[in-house]
């Protein structure tokens, strides 16, 4: 079988594939146009995908040769899972190995925003470090505050655990289902979405993104949040209405925001959010550690290897493709 890898990946993934004599197709140019990427896909049996290429119905119609997709990511919102499942195409992903790294970034953003770090870094770099001013751009402490987690899964649990241990924060959360482990180990309390946004001093998003979540955090939500609230998003940029977020931040309705994700990505350098002193934006670096990326490459390669060997992918976003028809 032929496996198309559209961008460079850590060597550990390539070694797994090469050791098993799997034929790999590499593009001549990593920055392919949509048309070039599609032509490569038409030549492959399996797609080892790095990045946000869309796998929708049109893709599957154009590439009937594709039998499996292995994502170099935990998120799969860029894949039409229903269409893939209907066509019996397994979609692999890479859960767990990036949970710590991504929660580290959420934790970092929270602290940077609470102490207005971006503003102060820019002040030093621009030569505006002036005499001591006891009231200039004061930060806020996080000890004993309330962390609200939207989507308390693997990454959300790691974030909550850090906040509990470091700052003795109270943990509340909103999920589709209650998390008994978090309730036992972190004394987390399940609340409604409305309670989450009203009671949280910090709101951190860690849910899987679906179309129903588009623009969920909008004007009406920001209006209900505390004025000292910090908004953290390391999940997907589609969760926030960025115009409404800008207005809430610029007007002082909420304290600040830390974003590792924007909509679209990359963010436009003219985006007014980047000019605000109470905002910190990272270029989607949640999983950008050597350890996490190696783990992702290993899991994605193991998904490919399992499929090639006629086995079920060990990490599959649509395991129902393996259900036997009665």
Looking at the annotation, which residues are catalytic?
Answer: 236, 265, 284
231 φ, ψ (degrees, to nearest 5): -105, 120
Q: How many CA atoms lie within 13 A of 180 on its CB side?
A: 0
* CB neighbour list of residue 78: distance below 8 Å, 6 or more residues apart: 52, 53, 54, 55
Please, is 98 exposed, middle or buried when counting C-beta atoms within 10 Å of its C-beta (0-12, 13-18, 19+)?
buried
| 127 vs 123: CA distance, rounded Å | 6
5 φ, ψ (degrees, to nearest 5): -110, 115
Q: Taking the alpha carbons of 67, 70, 74, 79 in that order, is the dihedral positive or negative?
A: negative
| 297 vs 10: CA distance, rounded Å | 6
Neighbours of 274 (CB within 10 A): 14
Q: Is 272 helix (H, G, I), strand (E, B) or coil?
A: helix
Q: Is 122 helix (H, G, I), strand (E, B) or coil?
A: helix
């Amino acid at each position: 079988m032929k496996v198309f890898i559209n961008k460079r990946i850590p060597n550990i993934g390539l070694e797994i594939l090469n050791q098993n004599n799997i034929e790999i197709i590499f593009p001549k140019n990593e920055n392919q146009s949509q048309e070039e990427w599609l032509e490569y896909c038409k030549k492959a049996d399996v797609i080892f995908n790095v990045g946000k290429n869309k796998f929708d119905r049109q893709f599957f119609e154009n590439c009937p040769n594709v039998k499996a997709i292995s994502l170099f990511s935990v998120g799969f919102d860029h894949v039409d899972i229903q269409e893939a499942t209907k066509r019996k195409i397994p979609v692999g992903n890479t859960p767990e190995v990036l949970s710590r790294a991504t929660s580290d970034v959420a934790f970092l953003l929270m602290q940077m925003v609470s102490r207005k770090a971006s503003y102060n870094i820019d002040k030093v770099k621009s030569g505006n470090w002036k005499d001591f001013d006891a009231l200039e751009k004061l930060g806020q402490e996080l000890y004993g505050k309330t962390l609200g987690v939207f989507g308390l899964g693997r990454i959300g649990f790691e974030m909550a655990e850090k906040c509990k241990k470091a700052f003795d924060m109270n943990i509340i959360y909103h999920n589709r289902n209650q998390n008994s482990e978090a309730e036992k180990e972190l004394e987390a309390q399940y609340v409604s979405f409305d309670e989450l946004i009203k009671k949280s001093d910090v709101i951190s998003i860690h849910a899987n993104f679906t179309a129903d979540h588009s623009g969920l955090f909008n004007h009406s939500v920001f209006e209900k949040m505390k004025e000292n609230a910090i908004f953290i998003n390391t999940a997907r940029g589609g969760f926030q209405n960025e115009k409404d977020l800008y207005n809430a931040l610029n007007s002082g309705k909420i304290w600040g925001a830390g974003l590792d994700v924007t909509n679209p990505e990359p963010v436009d350098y003219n985006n007014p959010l980047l000019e605000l002193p109470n905002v910190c934006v990272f270029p989607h670096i949640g999983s950008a550690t050597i350890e996490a990326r190696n783990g992702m490459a290993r899991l994605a390669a193991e998904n490919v290897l399992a499929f090639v060997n006629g086995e079920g992918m060990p990490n599959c976003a649509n395991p129902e493709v393996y259900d036997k028809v009665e």
